[in-house]
Amino acid sequence: MFPTQFSELFDLPIEKIVNTVGTPTFVVSDRLLHKQITEFLSVTKEFIPEIGVFYSVKTNDYPPLLRKILGYVDGLEVVSEYELILALEKLNVNPDRIILNGPYKNNNEIQMAIDREIYMINIDSLQDARHIEECANRLKKHVRVGIRLNLACSSSWHKFGLVPDGQEFQEILKLIKRSTFLDLRGLHHHGGHFTDGSENIDFLLTSIHKVWNDLLQKGFCPEIIDIGGGFLPYIELSTEGKWIYQENVKNIFREISEFLKINFPGHPKLIIEPGRALVEGAVVVISRVGNVKYDNNKIWVYLDVGTSYVGGQHGGKDRIIFAPLLKQLGVEVPAQEIAFCGPMCYATDVLGVQKFSPFPKEDDITIIGNAGAYTMSLRWHGSQPYPAIVQVNLASEISIHSTRQSVEEIFSFYKVTDVFGNVLP
Ligand SMILES: Cc1ncc(COP(=O)(O)O)c(C=O)c1O
């Protein structure tokens, strides 16, 4: 019924977790993380051994998970002041393992990034370049910068970066040329998804190559090509039973490696900023079935966790896998469509529709797999308490990181004060 990969979900000490902290619970699994990261890195490094891998923190910023990830990758890609402080101050990440991106960088983060001499700051607009330059001048520090390109691969990504033949891009080049402290080292791009074909790797590399040559002609010395993320996992099997995803990733990195060898004789450093490809499968959510309803020719199953914690903007309902567990599994019937819904009163609070057998019954425990990306970091309150969090180490030992949020804890967030900071009743 399930792809064999997901039998591993059942190796987690689910019963123990349910008995200890209840549901819903995020389970961060060291074993699933190790499997996903090592599989991805082995494919990428097979073709480009010297590739730089900077994990995209926004995908899942849970600090204990970040600590583990740092053991596998070269560094972190951060996109906010919070993420920068988290990396530098809370996790003590070496500054030369940090890349700063983002369409809006505030003055604090720019100052901190320059002062601590992080690996690279990617410029997203002319104002961004001006702010970075002003700060570098003030601190008298050299800054390695890249420019984020807008290559119009998919319309939803037009918000970011600069069109290479646009006026603003040329202005930035002039600014960098005049600048004492800004060193243009790289070109950056992040757009759609390579693995599902919505972004074409050949188009991307050809476009970057053109800009790169232009930079060389203008006297710059770029060294780094940063192609962002976009290697999101797919769980389909091909007709021959191979993982389409792994084959896709192989093809992509084979193509990149060949393109670089032929077109970039100076051997630029390739950087990627994967998010989902590293963590999507590393976290699961354990949830309890509340009600089961048969209506409108469909079976509706209501869980105690909904889209506010598991859906996520990019979380991808379709990639969430449901597995029945424990208790009274429903009677064996031919697989039928079940809509798995969250507890909230929003019509959109539907986690996914799956063919499923045997169908769940009230009080069953359900594992929602692939909940590592854009769940813990992209949660919204939705008038629901934050689930408990546990980590399971390689020896299957459980550590409880937090219990399910209480009403008291939610309520204490709303602290009313006067202008002097005195708490008002
Ligand atoms: C600049 C940048 N890099 C990396 C990523 C990670 O993308 P993915 O999860 O597709 O690997 C994102 C995601 O939006 C991004 O905006």
pLDDT for position 331: 52
What is the per-residue pLDDT for 5? 47
Of all protein residues, whose CA lies closest to atom 13 belonging to ligand 1? 229
Q: What is the pTM of this model?
A: 0.93
Q: Are 161 and 210 in contact (CB under 8 A)?
A: no
> Regarding the domain delimited by 280-412, which CATH topology (the fold level of the hierarchy) does it fall under?
Lyase, Ornithine Decarboxylase; Chain A, domain 1 (2.40.37)
CB 260 within 8 A of CB 270: yes
- CATH superfamily, with its number, for domain 30-279: Alanine racemase (3.20.20.10)
Task: Work out which ligand 1 atom sits closest to the CA atom of 193.
Answer: 10
* Peptide bond connecting 95 to the previous residue in cis, omega within 30 degrees of 0: no
pLDDT digits (tens, 9 = 90+) for 85-124: 999 999 999 999 999 999 999 999 999 999 999 999 999 9
β-strands 322-325, 75-78 pairing: unpaired
Ligand 1 in contact with 188 (CB < 6 A)? Answer: no
Q: Residue written as tokens 């607009």?
A: 125
Instruction: Determine whether the shortest distance from the Cβ of 60 to ligand 1 is under 6 A.
Output: no
Kindly state if the Cβ of 274 falls inside 6 Å of ligand 1.
yes
The answer, yes or no, to whether any atom of ligand 1 lies below 6 A from the CB of 77, is: yes
User: Nearest 5°: phi and psi at 247?
Assistant: -65, -40
Enumerate the β-bridge partners of residue 391: 28, 399
Q: Is 190 in the pocket of ligand 1 (CB under 6 A)?
A: yes
Q: How far apart are CA 294 and CA 69, in angstroms?
A: 43
Residue 273 Cβ < 6 Å to ligand 1: yes
User: Is residue 230 within 8 Å of 192, Cβ to Cβ?
Assistant: yes
* pLDDT, tens digit, 9 for 90 and up, residues 347-369: 888 887 777 666 778 888 888 88
Ligand 1 pocket, residue 230 CB under 6 Å: yes
Ligand 1, pocket-test mutation among 36, 53, 59, most atoms within 8 A of CB? 59
Q: Could you tell me if the CB of 315 is within 6 A of ligand 1?
A: no
Question: Alpha helices, DSSP H only, in 229-361?
Answer: 244-263, 276-279
Predicted confidence at residue 210, as pLDDT, reads 96
Q: Give the model's pLDDT for residue 413.
A: 85
What lies within 8 Å, CB to CB, of 9 at 6+ separation is: 284, 321, 323, 367, 369
User: Is the CB–ligand 1 distance for residue 232 below 6 Å?
Assistant: yes
Instruction: Say what the pLDDT of residue 263 is.
Output: 95
The predicted structure's pLDDT at residue 388: 97
How do the pLDDT tens digits run along the chain, 425 residues long? 333 346 677 789 999 999 999 999 999 999 999 998 998 999 999 999 999 999 999 999 999 999 999 999 999 999 999 999 999 999 999 999 999 999 999 999 999 999 999 999 999 999 999 999 999 999 999 999 999 999 865 556 778 999 998 999 999 999 999 999 999 999 999 987 776 666 788 889 999 999 999 999 999 999 999 999 988 765 554 455 445 667 788 889 999 999 999 999 888 999 999 998 999 889 999 999 999 998 877 889 999 999 899 875 544 444 455 665 544 444 555 567 788 899 999 888 888 777 766 677 888 888 888 889 889 998 888 899 999 999 999 999 999 999 999 999 998 888 889 999 998 88
Domain residue spans in the chain? Answer: 30-279, 280-412
Helix ranges (H only) for 267-377 are: 276-279
**Distance from the alpha carbon of residue 227 to the mean position of ligand 1, in angstroms:** 10
Tell me what pLDDT residue 152 has: 67
Task: Tell me what pLDDT residue 240 has.
Answer: 52
